[in-house]
Every structure is written in C-alpha cells, then in structure tokens.
Amino acid sequence: MEKLMHLHPLDSVAIVREPIEQLDVIVIDGHPVTFAHALGFGHKIAIRPIAKGEQIIKFGVPIGSATADIRVGEHVHLHNIESNYLVTYTHTHEFTEK
C-alpha cells in the first residue's frame, strides 16, 4: 500500500499519498485491487468493505455514513458518503440550496 496511507488502526479508509493511475494494482489486506479510475493525492479509498449506512472511520473517528455499499479499493467521496455533521452537497445540488 505504498501509494496509500493508513492513518489509524480503526480506519475503514486509507488516503492516497501518491497519485493512482487507471489500472494500477495495489495490494490491500493481502488482495490485489485494480483501480478502474485515476485518483489524486488526498482522496479516500475503502480498505475493507463498508455496508450502506455504516459509519466511515478516518483518524479513528466517524466522518460520515455510507450511502451505498462500498467495495475494497473503491473511492470514498461525495457520491457514496453522507456527513453525520453537516449537509453533504453533491454534484446534483451543489450551490442550489438556499
């Protein structure tokens, strides 16, 4: 996981520390994962399966809940996470709520 940084033992995500290119293969928990899309520095990747509704853990604390099942190696971002603390804005209603 040299391109990923696992910050805390309880975390369900790792952070991209070097850009991941499309079709890169990274071993996560002993299993090779092929990335369908490129991902840049700072993005989150699931390092274990996360069920819909389950809390997503980063820095050892919950940062939000999964809005869909998330597979190992899948990008964890606005399209599949909802903040437990603030309104989560998605591409479909960004800047349109008043």
Predicted confidence at residue 84, as pLDDT, reads 77
**In terms of Cα–Cα distance, which of 23, 10, 8, 7 is closest to 73?**
23
Residue 2 banded pLDDT, cuts 50, 70, 90: confident
Domain spans, the chain: 4-82
DSSP conformation letters of 69-88? -B-TT-EESTTTEE-SSSPP
In CATH, what class is 4-82?
mainly beta
pTM confidence score: 0.81
d(CA 67, CA 88): 11
Query: Phi-psi region for residue 84, left (φ > 0), alpha (ψ -120 to 50) or beta?
Result: alpha
Q: What is the pLDDT of residues 71-96, one digit of tens each?
A: 999 999 988 999 877 765 555 555 45
Q: What is the pLDDT of residues 16-52, one digit of tens each?
A: 999 999 999 999 988 999 998 899 999 999 999 999 9
Predicted confidence at residue 90, as pLDDT, reads 52
Output Rg (C-alpha) for the chain, integer angstroms: 14
